[in-house]
Amino acid sequence: MTIKLSYEIGKNDFAKAGTASSSIKKVLRQLGISADLIRRVAVATYEAEMNIVIHSDGGNIILQVIPEKIQITALDRGPGIADIDMAMKEGYSTAPEEVREMGFGAGMGLPNMKRCADEFSITSSLGNPTELIIVFNI
Amino acid sequence: MNLREVQRLLDAEILCGEEAMDGEVNTVFACDLMSDVLAFNENKTLLVTGLVNPHVIRTAEMMDINAIVFVRGKVPDEETLNLAKENGIVILGTKNILYTSCGILYKSGLIGAKISSE
């Protein structure tokens, strides 16, 4: 069983935000993955999807399912993160006020993704794309 | 606790999901910050919130939350309700404020959900 699906995520596209995570959740359910694991993947993916919508110039969420592993890759087109250590701190956020009014931007996204995942890596620098690789053991 | 009991205690209106009102909830998470809702990890949790937008439903969907109470008489728009219907999520609306809603539910035996870092 090998699956690879890619979803385009638009900058500031709040109307569509969450639809990729919703689709991924449904795919995993069809594959018979356990409910607890699906929830961890769904939460991490949704956080990553919201981050692309809120902070980036747009990008993609890619789901890969290989035997024993589920991998979510979130790759945007910039503008990159100046200080990854700060971004990983709970409560640190650069989200604008209108995003906070929607209930997001509490600075919990990246730490929450890491907590949900079995393996988590982030690659970014200012002026470059950000890539998150989030891996779950099945 | 049965959702019909939640409805009765909060004098709430069923805004959608009438057919799923026999569902049970074991804990409550009350919050207007969806980022924090995404950080707990329990089953059969009731979300009580004053934030009314489609992202609340998306958040509930990701968390397997099957029932939401909107407090302070807030009425969700059609898009929000349709998304809840699609996902089989019960939506209740109460005129009680968040604090009062939580007090009533807590007094009746519903405890708070634990966040994952606890």
Query: Is residue B7, in this structure, part of any structural domain at all?
Result: yes
For residue B47, the Cα-to-chain-centroid distance in whole angstroms is 3
Q: Summarize pLDDT for B72-88 with one digit per residue, the tens.
A: 999 999 999 999 999 99
Whether B36 sits inside 8 A of A106 (CB atoms) is yes
- Are β-strands B13-16 and B90-93 bridged in parallel, bridged antiparallel, or unpaired? antiparallel
* Contact between B98 and B30 (Cβ < 8 Å): yes
How many CB atoms within 10 Å of residue A24?
24
Q: What is the token pair recorded at B16?
A: 């959608």
Query: Is residue B74, in this structure, part of any structural domain at all?
Result: yes
Whether B39 sits inside 8 A of A25 (CB atoms) is no
Report the pLDDT value the prediction gives residue B42, as an integer from 0 to 100.
82
* Contact between A41 and A10 (Cβ < 8 Å): no
What is the spatial distance between Cα B38 and Cα A113, in angstroms, rounded to a whole number? Answer: 10
CB-closest option in A43, A103, A107 to B62: A43
**Per the structure, how many domains does chain B have?**
1
Mean pLDDT in chain B? 94
| pLDDT less than 50: residues of chain A | none
Query: Is residue B89, in this structure, part of any structural domain at all?
Result: yes
What is the spatial distance between Cα A57 and Cα A26, in angstroms, rounded to a whole number? Answer: 27
Q: Summarize pLDDT for B19-72 with one digit per residue, the tens.
A: 999 999 999 999 999 999 998 878 899 999 999 999 999 999 999 999 999 999
| CATH at B49 | 3.40.1390.20
Report the pLDDT value the prediction gives residue B10, as an integer from 0 to 100.
98
User: Which of A43, A89, A113 should one mutate to test binding to chain B, selecting the residue with the greatest count of B CBs within 10 A?
Assistant: A43
What is the spatial distance between Cα A62 and Cα A20, in angstroms, rounded to a whole number? Answer: 9
Query: Is residue B52, in this structure, part of any structural domain at all?
Result: yes
Query: Is residue B59, in this structure, part of any structural domain at all?
Result: yes
* Domain boundaries, position B56: 3-32+42-111
Whether A103 sits inside 8 A of B59 (CB atoms) is yes
CB-closest option in A35, A47, A103 to B33: A103
Query: Is residue B57, in this structure, part of any structural domain at all?
Result: yes
Query: Is residue B37, in this structure, part of any structural domain at all?
Result: no
Least confident of A127-136, B1-10, B35-44, B91-100: B35-44
User: Which of A45, A50, A90, A114 should one mutate to test binding to chain B, selecting the residue with the greatest count of B CBs within 10 A?
Assistant: A50
Instruction: Give the mean pLDDT of B93-102.
Output: 98
The verdict on ipTM greater than 0.90 is: yes
pTM of the model: 0.94
Q: Which residue of A has its CA nearest to B49?
A: A103
Report the pLDDT value the prediction gives residue B118, as an integer from 0 to 100.
47
CA atoms within 13 A on the CB side of A29: 11
Whether A104 sits inside 8 A of B64 (CB atoms) is no
pLDDT above 70: residue B117: no
CA atoms within 13 A on the CB side of A110: 25
Q: Which residues of A touch B117 (CB under 8 A)?
A: 115
Residue in this structure with the two tokens 């999520």, named with its chain if needed: B89
Whether B56 sits inside 8 A of A21 (CB atoms) is no
